[in-house]
C-alpha cells in the first residue's frame, strides 16, 4: 500500500478510545440525533441533536470489515487507493500509483482532519444530522394548505387588540384599527429548501405576506407594526383553529394542532404554528406561519440603525427632547420581517457557489446545540438568543470572504473552522462586519452605543446580531476554545461536537439566577432612554447598553460586569445565559462565574489610594458601609473593602457565617440591584464555599517535617533511613474525619496518622519474611529508645508498629525495605510483566505492598497536585460525602483517582476550580466513560510514556478477555499499571452507582434551572436530593440509632457540663465502635451470601444478596456456617440446598439489637422490626 493510504477494510479498526467513549447529552433523557430545521431568518433550531457519540460509534462500525467509507467528494475511504487489480495468470494483487484526486484526498486527511477516524466521524455526523432527502408528504401538505390559508375570511379587528386576543400581548401605545385579509403572498423560507435543517422534527417556515393596504404609512413607529403583526397572528390562529375543529376525519386539517409561539422567546413577536402528527402525513412535522410585509411598504432609510422610531409621548405644554437616542435594535426588529425572501436567496446563491457550505452549516448548528446556545421548543433550558439563520449567515460570510476556492473539492470542515474564526477573531466590542466584505470596520463611539454586536446586511441597514448583545462574548469564547481543541488534539470530535457542554454545572463555580422577568424581557425597550437604569449609573454599566436594549440583555450584561469587577482576581471568567420555561413564557437571567480557588478566602480587597482618580469609583462600587481607608506598613493609605472571614475547619457554609465570595455577591446585589436581589438565587454547590486546605492539616505537615527530621538524625540504627513517607489522607487534605489515637497517660486527645519509614537497600536484610519482620521490630525498639532518651519524645511499640506522640498528633510508623516485597512488586507493578502470565501473589502480600509502598507514593503525588490545585482537596471530600450517602464509604482511593483525573486531564473542559464542579465532573466520568471497553488511566505526575500506556491497554484487554476483573471499574496508574492495588466498588453495584451519578448530575443541572424541590428551598435544604439514598437496589436495610455529639450534649442536661459532656462523648465513641463491630461481624459471617454497605456518617446498614449464592447447590454446602434450606429432589437424587433468607434476616436483626431502630426487607409488604 502507498504511504498514507488506509489499509484493507478487514484490518481497519478505529481506536476504541475514540470510537467507544461517549459524551453525555446532558442531564435528562438520552436523545438520538435527528433531523429538523432552524426556522429561517428568525427561526430557532429546535431540539436536542445528537446523542452519546453516535457518529463516533457508527464511524467505528464503518471502519470494521465492510466497504470503505466515502469521502465528501465520493471517493472511497476518503482518498484511499482504488481496488487492487488481480492478475489472472499469476494470481497476484497489483497496486498502481495514486492519481491526483487521491493524492489530494490523502493530503486533506493529513493536514485538515489529522486522522482518518476524525474524518469518518465528521462524515458520519453530517449524514446523521442532515434532513431526509425525501419529504414528499410535507410538500403535498404545503400545496394543499396554500389554498386553505388563501381562503381565510377578511375581518375588521377593533382597536382594542388586547381585548380581542387576550392570550396575546400588545404594547398598545397608540391603538389603530386593523383590517385583516388573506395573505398576499406565501413563500417557503428557512432551511427546508436549503437542506440545512437539523433536529428531531422537521420544521417548515412559511413567510405569509400581510396585505399592504392593512397598514398606514408610519406604522413602523412606536410598535404599531408589531401590534398589528401580533393581531394578524391571532386572527390566523382563530380561523385556522376553527377549521381544524370543524374538519371531518380524513381531510387536510383534521387533527392538526394549531397554536401560537414566540419567536426566540419574544412574546411580542408571535407566529402561528401547525403541528401535523404522523397519522396524517406519514411523518410528524411543524409548520410556522411568519407574518411579513412587502419590502417597499416602509422606507428603508427611515429604519437605519442611527434613527429613532420609538417616539416618546409628549404631554401637553411640555417641550420635546432635542435628540432622542437611536433605536437600532427596534429598527432591525421591524426590518427583519421584510428581508426573509432576500436572505433565502442570499443563502441559496452561497450554497450554489460553494456546495460544501451546506454540511458546514450543519456542523456549526451541531456545535452550537452542544453548548446549549440554541433555543428548544419546550421545557426549561439554557439558551442564547441566536438562531440557526444567524449561524448560516456567518458560515456563508466566511465562505465568501475567505480565500477558499468555491469548488466541489472544498471541505465542509474547513468552512466550519472558518466560521468559528469569524466568531473568535472579531473584536465585537469595537468592530463591525458587513456581509461579503472581508475584515472588520472600526466602530464609531455612536455605533458602539447602538448594539453589543454588529454584523450587517450588504446595505448596512439590518443587523443580523441585534439580539445577541453581550452574549456574543460567550459565543466568541467557545469558538476560540473549539479552534484550540481542533488544532491541539488528535481526536477532538467529542470535545467539539459532543453534548458535554449541555449543563453549565460542569463549568460554573458560582451562579446567580434572577427571578422570572416580565413578558417584555426579550423585546426592545418601549421607552428608549427613559427606562429605569439597572445598577449604578456612575459605574458606567447602564450607559454602555443600547438605549432600547431588552431588559434581559441589559440585566445580563450589567450583572456580569458588576459582579466580575467586584470579585476582582477571584473571578477568571464570567458568562451569561437565559433560562426559558418560566410562567407565561417568562425568561430568567443566569450569570455564571469560574473562580480562582487561591484567592477565594482573602478578607481584604485593596483599592486605589485616596487621592487617585479611581477612588470615587471604588467608593461608589462598595458604598460607605464597606469602603474604608487603611494605612499599611509601607506608609500607603488605600481604599479597602473588608470582609468577615468565616471560622476555619467548617464543612458546610452557613447563612449566618457566609463565605467571602458570598458576602461580596450579596452586598453588590443589594446595593446596585435591590429589586433583583429580592428574588435572586445564589448557587454555589451543596456545601457552599468552604476552606479547601485546612489549617489543621497545615499544622500536621509542620509536625510531620519535624518528625521526619527527628527520625533521620537517629544515629544508633544499623541502617540509614532513606525516607519517611506520609500515608494518611490528612497529608493530602482529603480526609473527612481524622482518627483518634489511643488516649495517653496525659489525657490529651490526639489524632492518629500513618507513616512508612523506608530504609536504604542492603544485603543485611534476611530473605526469610518472618526473620525480616523480627528485624523490623528490633529497628522500631531501637528508634523508640533513642527518641525517648535523646529527644524526650514519647513512643509506644506494639507488634510491627511504633506510635510516636507529639503535642497534637500521633505518627504511626511501619517499616519498609525493598528486599521485602521485590518479587511481589515485580509481578504487580511491572509494565512488561502482565499478571495473567503467572499466578498472582497472595492476598496478604498484595495488602502489604498496598500499605507500605503503593499508598505512600499515591499520597505524595496527590499532595503535590493538591498544592497546585487546592480545589482538588475539597472536591475529594465532597465526593466522599456523596459516595458515603450512597452507602459506599471506604473507597477513598477510588474517589481520589477519579477526581484527580478530572483535574489533571480535564478535556474537553478546563480544570475545575471548585469542589462542586469537581463533584459534577466525577459524576460525569462515572456516567459517560466506557468502562467496559476502555482502561481509565490516571497520570498523577505526567511521567507516563506512550509505551507504558500501550502496556496498560494490553493488560486491560487481557483482563477483560480473561474475565478476571472483579469490578467493571478498571483504573490504572504508573504505580498500579494492572489495576490490582486500587480497591473499587464491586460489580454488583457498578451499574446502580452510575445511575446515581447520572441522577446527581441531573439534580445539579435542575438546581441551576430553578426546577424541583431545590428551587423552592433556596438554601442548603435544596440539595438534600443530591445526597438522598435510593434503597430500592438493596435487599435488607437496617436503620441505626443516632448518637452524635450534638445529641450527646443535649442529653447531658441536668449533669455537670464538663463531666456530662465528657461522658456523652465517650458514649458516642463507644456507640460508633459498636456499629463498626456490627458491620465487621456481618461482613465476616455473611460475606459469602451478601454484600454489606455502610458509611460512618450515614446511620444505615444495607445488605445486597449475591445472586450466585442462591443457586441450588449440593448438600456438601451444609458444611459451611450459613444456614440452608433443603429442597427434596426425585427419588435417588440428593437434595439441593439454598440459603435460608428468613433465618439470615433474623440473625441480622438479633445482631443489631440495641443499635437498630428497625429492619426492613425491601420488596416485602411490611417491615421486620429488630429493635
Query: Distance between CA atoms of 24 and 9, rounded to whole angstroms?
Result: 30
Q: How long is the chain?
A: 1171
What is the per-residue pLDDT across 1041-1051, written as a single tens digit (0 to 9) for each? 875 544 544 44
pLDDT score of 313: 56
Are 132 and 125 spatial neighbours (Cβ–Cβ below 8 Å)? no
In 881-958, beta strands by DSSP E: 936-938
Contacts 24+ apart (CB under 8 A), 107-116: 108/79, 108/411, 109/4, 109/78, 109/79, 110/4, 112/411, 112/413, 112/414, 113/413, 114/490, 115/490, 115/491, 116/6, 116/63, 116/78
Before 908, cis peptide (omega within 30)?
Answer: yes
Query: Distance between CA atoms of 801 and 794, rounded to whole angstroms?
Result: 14
pLDDT score of 29: 40
Query: Distance between CA atoms of 1110 and 735, rounded to whole angstroms?
Result: 38
Are 911 and 918 spatial neighbours (Cβ–Cβ below 8 Å)? no
pLDDT at 1098 over 90: no
Nearest-CA neighbor of 1067 among 1049, 1053, 1081?
1049
In 727-863, beta strands by DSSP E: 739-740, 751-759, 795-798, 801-805, 809-816
Query: Distance between CA atoms of 516 and 503, rounded to whole angstroms?
Result: 20
Q: Which residue do the cell numbers 398576499 mark?
A: 184
Query: Distance between CA atoms of 1084 and 125, rounded to whole angstroms?
Result: 53
Instruction: Give residue 448's Cα distance to chain centre.
Output: 34
Provide the grid cell at 663.
458576602
Are 363 and 344 spatial neighbours (Cβ–Cβ below 8 Å)? no
pLDDT score of 540: 59
| 179: enclosing H helix or E strand | strand 178-180
Pairing label, strands 1156-1161, 1036-1040:
antiparallel
pLDDT score of 863: 95
Pairing label, strands 751-759, 809-816:
parallel
Pairing label, strands 637-642, 604-609:
antiparallel
Angle between helices 551-567 and 660-672 (to 10 degrees): 140
Q: Which residue do the cell numbers 441536668 mark?
A: 1054
pLDDT score of 417: 93
How many other CB atoms sit within 10 Å of the CB of residue 809?
A: 22
Are 18 and 491 spatial neighbours (Cβ–Cβ below 8 Å)? yes
How many other CB atoms sit within 10 Å of the CB of residue 771?
A: 11
Q: Average pLDDT in the 629-644 region?
A: 91
pLDDT score of 895: 95
Are 370 and 501 spatial neighbours (Cβ–Cβ below 8 Å)? yes
Are 180 and 214 spatial neighbours (Cβ–Cβ below 8 Å)? yes
Give the CA radius of gyration of the chain.
Answer: 35
Share of the chain above pLDDT 90, in %: 43
Angle between helices 357-370 and 340-353 (to 10 degrees): 120
Nearby residues of 425 by Cβ (< 8 Å), 6 or more positions away: none
pLDDT score of 578: 93
Q: Which residues of 657-668 are buried (b: 16+ CB within 10 A; e: fewer)?
A: ebbbbbbbbebb
Please state the φ and ψ torsions of residue 1094, each to the nearest 5 degrees.
-165, 150
Q: Average pLDDT in the 758-783 region?
A: 86
SS3 string, 960-1020, reads HHHCCCCCCCCEEECCECCCCCCCCCCHHHHHHHHHHHHHHHHHHHHHHHCCHHHHHHCCH
Query: Distance between CA atoms of 215 and 1155, rounded to whole angstroms?
Result: 82
| 1070: enclosing H helix or E strand | helix 1057-1086
Task: Please report, for residues 185, 295, 372, 651, 802, the alpha-carbon distance to residue 150 in angstroms, rounded to integers and kept in the order given.
Answer: 9, 20, 38, 68, 94
pLDDT score of 1031: 84
Pairing label, strands 381-383, 285-292:
unpaired
Provide the grid cell at 773.
519482620
Q: Which residue do the cell numbers 438520552 mark?
A: 30
What is the per-residue pLDDT across 440-451, written as a single tens digit (0 to 9) for each? 899 998 999 899
pLDDT at 1169 over 80: no
In 545-587, beta strands by DSSP E: 571-580
pLDDT bucket at 899, cuts 50 / 70 / 90: very high
pLDDT score of 917: 94
> In sequence order, which ranges of 489-536 are alpha helices (DSSP H)?
493-497
**Would you call 150 helix, strand, or coil by DSSP?**
helix
Nearby residues of 1147 by Cβ (< 8 Å), 6 or more positions away: 1085, 1086
pLDDT score of 1058: 46
**Would you call 433 helix, strand, or coil by DSSP?**
strand
Task: Please report, for residues 154, 696, 748, the alpha-carbon distance to residue 751 in angstroms, rounded to integers and kept in the order given.
Answer: 87, 11, 10
pTM over 0.85: no
Q: Average pLDDT in the 148-157 region?
A: 92
Q: Average pLDDT in the 847-859 region?
A: 93
pLDDT bucket at 539, cuts 50 / 70 / 90: low
Least confident piece of the model among 510-519, 798-807, 1070-1079, 1161-1170? 1161-1170
**Would you call 924 helix, strand, or coil by DSSP?**
helix
Q: Is 5 exposed, middle or buried, given 0-12, 13-18 or 19+ CB atoms closer than 10 A?
A: middle
pLDDT bucket at 488, cuts 50 / 70 / 90: confident
Instruction: Give residue 1087's Cα distance to chain centre.
Output: 38
pLDDT score of 80: 39
If one compares 678 and 111, the residue with the highest pLDDT of the two is 678
pLDDT bucket at 345, cuts 50 / 70 / 90: very high
Query: Distance between CA atoms of 1101 and 539, rounded to whole angstroms?
Result: 57
pLDDT score of 827: 85
Torsion of CA 956, 960, 963, 965, to 10 degrees: 40
Pairing label, strands 1090-1095, 971-973:
unpaired
What's the angle, vertex CA 944, arms to CA 942 and CA 949, rounded to 5?
A: 135
Nearest-CA neighbor of 761 among 825, 708, 847?
825
In 643-785, beta strands by DSSP E: 681-683, 721-726, 739-740, 751-759
Query: Distance between CA atoms of 741 and 729, rounded to whole angstroms?
Result: 15
Query: Distance between CA atoms of 809 and 730, rounded to whole angstroms?
Result: 11
Query: Distance between CA atoms of 551 and 529, rounded to whole angstroms?
Result: 13
Q: Average pLDDT in the 29-54 region?
A: 38
Are 1002 and 27 spatial neighbours (Cβ–Cβ below 8 Å)? yes
Query: Distance between CA atoms of 525 and 745, rounded to whole angstroms?
Result: 77
Q: What is the mean pLDDT of the chain?
A: 82
What is the per-residue pLDDT across 562-590, written as a single tens digit (0 to 9) for each? 999 999 999 999 999 999 877 777 889 99
Are 423 and 390 spatial neighbours (Cβ–Cβ below 8 Å)? no
If one compares 1085 and 342, the residue with the highest pLDDT of the two is 342
**Would you call 592 helix, strand, or coil by DSSP?**
strand
pLDDT score of 841: 84
**For residue 51, how many C-alpha atoms fall within 13 Å in the half-sphere facing its CB?**
13
Amino acid at each position: 500500500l502507498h504511504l498514507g493510504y488506509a489499509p484493507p477494510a478487514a484490518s481497519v479498526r478505529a481506536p476504541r478510545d475514540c470510537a467507544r467513549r461517549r459524551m453525555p447529552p446532558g442531564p435528562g433523557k438520552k436523545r438520538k440525533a435527528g433531523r429538523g430545521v432552524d426556522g429561517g431568518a428568525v427561526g430557532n433550531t429546535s431540539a436536542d441533536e445528537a446523542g452519546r457519540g453516535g457518529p463516533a460509534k457508527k464511524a467505528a462500525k464503518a471502519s470494521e470489515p465492510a466497504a470503505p467509507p466515502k469521502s465528501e467528494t465520493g471517493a472511497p475511504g476518503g482518498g484511499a487507493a482504488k481496488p487492487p487489480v488481480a492478475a489472472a495468470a499469476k494470481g497476484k494483487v497489483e497496486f498502481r500509483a495514486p492519481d491526483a484526486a487521491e493524492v489530494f484526498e490523502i493530503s486533506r486527511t493529513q493536514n485538515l482532519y489529522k486522522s482518518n477516524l476524525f474524518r469518518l466521524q465528521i462524515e458520519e455526523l453530517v449524514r446523521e444530522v442532515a434532513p431526509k432527502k425525501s419529504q414528499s408528504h410535507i410538500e403535498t401538505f404545503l400545496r394543499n394548505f396554500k389554498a386553505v390559508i388563501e381562503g381565510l375570511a377578511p375581518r375588521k379587528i377593533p382597536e382594542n387588540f388586547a381585548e380581542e386576543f387576550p392570550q396575546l400581548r400588545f404594547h398598545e401605545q397608540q391603538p389603530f384599527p386593523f383590517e385583516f385579509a388573506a395573505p398576499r403572498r406565501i413563500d417557503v423560507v428557512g432551511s427546508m429548501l436549503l437542506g440545512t435543517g437539523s433536529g428531531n422534527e422537521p420544521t417548515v417556515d412559511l413567510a405569509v405576506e400581510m396585505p399592504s393596504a392593512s397598514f398606514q404609512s408610519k406604522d413602523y413607529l412606536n410598535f404599531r407594526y408589531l401590534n398589528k403583526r401580533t393581531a394578524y397572528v391571532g386572527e390566523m390562529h382563530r380561523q385556522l383553529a376553527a377549521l381544524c375543529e370543524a374538519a371531518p376525519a380524513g381531510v387536510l386539517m383534521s387533527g392538526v394542532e394549531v397554536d401560537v409561539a414566540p419567536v426566540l422567546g419574544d412574546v411580542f413577536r408571535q407566529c402561528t404554528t401547525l403541528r401535523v402528527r404522523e397519522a396524517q402525513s406519514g411523518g410528524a412535522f411543524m409548520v410556522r406561519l411568519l407574518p411579513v410585509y412587502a419590502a417597499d411598504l416602509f422606507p428603508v432609510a427611515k429604519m437605519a440603525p442611527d434613527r429613532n422610531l420609538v417616539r416618546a409621548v409628549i404631554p401637553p405644554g411640555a417641550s420635546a427632547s432635542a435628540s432622542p437616542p437611536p433605536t437600532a435594535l427596534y429598527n432591525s426588529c421591524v426590518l427583519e420581517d421584510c428581508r426573509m425572501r432576500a436572505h433565502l436567496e442570499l443563502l441559496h446563491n452561497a450554497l450554489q457557489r460553494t456546495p460544501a457550505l451546506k454540511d458546514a452549516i450543519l456542523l456549526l448548528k451541531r456545535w452550537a446545540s452542544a453548548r446549549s446556545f440554541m433555543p428548544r421548543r419546550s421545557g426549561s433550558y439554557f439558551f442564547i438568543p441566536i438562531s440557526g439563520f444567524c449561524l448560516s449567515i456567518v458560515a456563508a460570510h466566511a465562505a465568501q470572504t475567505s480565500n477558499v476556492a468555491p469548488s466541489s473539492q472544498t471541505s465542509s470542515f474547513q468552512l466550519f473552522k472558518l466560521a468559528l474564526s469569524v466568531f473568535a477573531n472579531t473584536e465585537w466590542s469595537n468592530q463591525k462586519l458587513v456581509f461579503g466584505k472581508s475584515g472588520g470596520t472600526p466602530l464609531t463611539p455612536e455605533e458602539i452605543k447602538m448594539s453589543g454586536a454588529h454584523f450587517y446586511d450588504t446595505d448596512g441597514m439590518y443587523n443580523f446580531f441585534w439580539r445577541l448583545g453581550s452574549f456574543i462574548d460567550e459565543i466568541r469564547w467557545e469558538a476560540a476554545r473549539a479552534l484550540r481543541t481542533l488544532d491541539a488534539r488528535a481526536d477532538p470530535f467529542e470535545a467539539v461536537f459532543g453534548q458535554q457542554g449541555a449543563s453549565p454545572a460542569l463549568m460554573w463555580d458560582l451562579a446567580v439566577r434572577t427571578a422570572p422577568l416580565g413578558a417584555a424581557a426579550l423585546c426592545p425597550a418601549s421607552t428608549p432612554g427613559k427606562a429605569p437604569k439597572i445598577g449604578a449609573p456612575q459605574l458606567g454599566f447602564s450607559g454602555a447598553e443600547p438605549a432600547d436594549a431588552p431588559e434581559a440583555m441589559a440585566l445580563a450584561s450589567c450583572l456580569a460586569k458588576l459582579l466580575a469587577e467586584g470579585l476582582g482576581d477571584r473571578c477568571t471568567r464570567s458568562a451569561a445565559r437565559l433560562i426559558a420555561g418560566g410562567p407565561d413564557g417568562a425568561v430568567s437571567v443566569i450569570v455564571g462565574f469560574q473562580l480562582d480557588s487561591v484567592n477565594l478566602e482573602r478578607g481584604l480587597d485593596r483599592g486605589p489610594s485616596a487621592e487617585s482618580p479611581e477612588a470615587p469609583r471604588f467608593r461608589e462600587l462598595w458604598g460607605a458601609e464597606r469602603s474604608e481607608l487603611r494605612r499599611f506598613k509601607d506608609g500607603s493609605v488605600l481604599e479597602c473593602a473588608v470582609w468577615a472571614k468565616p471560622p476555619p475547619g467548617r464543612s458546610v457554609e452557613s447563612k449566618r457565617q457566609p463565605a467571602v465570595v458570598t458576602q461580596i455577591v450579596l452586598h453588590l446585589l443589594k446595593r446596585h440591584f435591590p429589586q433583583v436581589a429580592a428574588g435572586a438565587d445564589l448557587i454555589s454547590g451543596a456545601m457552599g464555599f468552604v476552606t479547601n486546605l485546612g489549617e489543621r492539616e497545615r499544622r500536621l505537615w509542620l509536625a510531620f517535617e519535624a518528625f521526619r527530621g527527628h527520625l533521620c538524625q537517629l544515629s544508633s540504627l544499623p541502617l540509614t533511613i532513606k525516607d519517611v513517607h506520609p500515608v494518611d489522607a490528612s497529608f493530602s487534605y482529603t480526609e473527612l474525619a481524622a482518627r483518634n489515637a489511643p488516649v495517653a497517660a496525659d489525657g490529651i486527645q490526639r489524632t492518629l496518622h500513618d507513616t512508612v519509614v523506608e530504609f536504604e537497600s542492603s544485603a543485611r536484610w534476611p530473605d526469610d519474611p518472618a526473620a525480616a519482620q523480627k528485624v523490623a521490630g528490633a529497628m522500631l525498639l531501637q528508634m523508640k529508645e533513642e527518641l525517648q532518651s535523646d529527644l524526650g519524645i514519647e513512643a509506644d511499640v506494639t507488634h510491627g508498629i511504633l506510635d510516636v506522640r507529639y503535642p497534637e498528633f500521633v505518627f504511626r510508623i511501619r517499616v519498609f525495605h525493598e528486599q521485602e516485597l521485590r518479587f511481589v512488586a515485580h509481578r504487580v507493578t511491572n509494565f512488561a510483566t502482565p499478571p495473567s502470565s503467572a499466578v498472582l501473589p497472595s492476598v496478604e502480600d498484595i495488602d502489604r505492598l498496598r500499605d507500605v509502598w503503593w499508598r505512600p507514593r499515591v499520597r505524595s503525588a496527590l499532595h503535590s497536585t493538591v498544592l497546585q490545585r487546592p480545589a482538588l482537596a475539597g472536591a475529594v471530600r465532597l465526593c466522599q460525602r456523596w459516595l458515603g450517602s450512597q452507602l459506599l464509604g471506604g473507597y477513598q482511593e477510588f474517589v481520589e483517582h477519579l477526581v484527580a483525573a478530572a483535574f489533571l486531564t480535564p478535556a474537553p473542559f478546563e480544570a475545575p476550580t471548585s469542589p462542586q464542579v469537581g463533584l459534577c465532573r466525577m459524576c460525569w466520568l462515572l456516567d459517560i466513560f466506557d468502562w467496559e471497553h476502555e482502561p481509565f488511566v490516571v497520570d498523577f505526575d505526567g511521567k507516563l510514556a506512550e509505551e507504558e500506556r500501550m502496556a496498560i491497554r494490553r493488560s486491560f484487554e487481557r483482563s477483560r478477555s480473561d474475565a478476571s476483573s472483579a469490578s467493571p471499574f478498571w483504573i490504572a496508574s504508573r504505580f498500579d499499571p494492572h489495576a490490582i492495588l486500587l480497591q473499587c466498588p464491586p460489580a454488583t453495584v457498578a451499574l446502580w452507582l452510575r445511575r446515581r451519578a447520572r441522577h446527581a448530575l441531573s439534580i445539579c443541572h435542575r438546581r441551576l434551572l430553578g426546577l424541583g424541590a431545590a428551587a423552592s428551598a433556596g438554601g442548603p435544604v435544596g440539595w438534600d436530593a443530591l445526597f438522598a439514598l435510593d434503597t430500592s437496589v438493596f435487599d435488607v436495610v437496617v436503620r441505626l440509632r443516632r448518637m452524635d455529639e450534638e445529641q450527646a450534649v443535649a442529653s447531658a442536661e441536668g449533669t455537670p457540663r464538663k463531666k456530662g459532656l465528657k461522658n456523652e462523648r465517650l458514649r458516642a465513641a463507644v456507640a460508633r465502635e459498636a456499629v463498626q463491630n456490627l458491620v465487621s461481624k456481618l461482613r465476616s459471617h455473611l460475606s459469602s451470601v451478601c454484600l454489606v454497605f455502610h458509611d460512618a456518617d450515614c446511620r444505615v446498614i444495607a445488605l445486597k444478596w449475591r445472586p450466585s449464592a442462591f443457586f441450588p447447590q449440593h448438600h456438601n454446602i451444609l458444611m459451611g456456617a450459613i444456614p440452608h434450606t433443603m429442597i427434596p429432589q426425585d427419588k435417588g437424587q440428593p437434595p439441593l440446598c439454598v440459603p435460608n433468607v428468613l433465618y439470615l434476616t433474623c440473625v441480622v436483626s438479633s445482631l443489631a439489637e440495641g443499635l437498630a431502630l428497625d429492619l426492613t426487607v425491601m420488596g416485602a409488604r411490611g417491615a421486620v422490626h429488630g429493635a
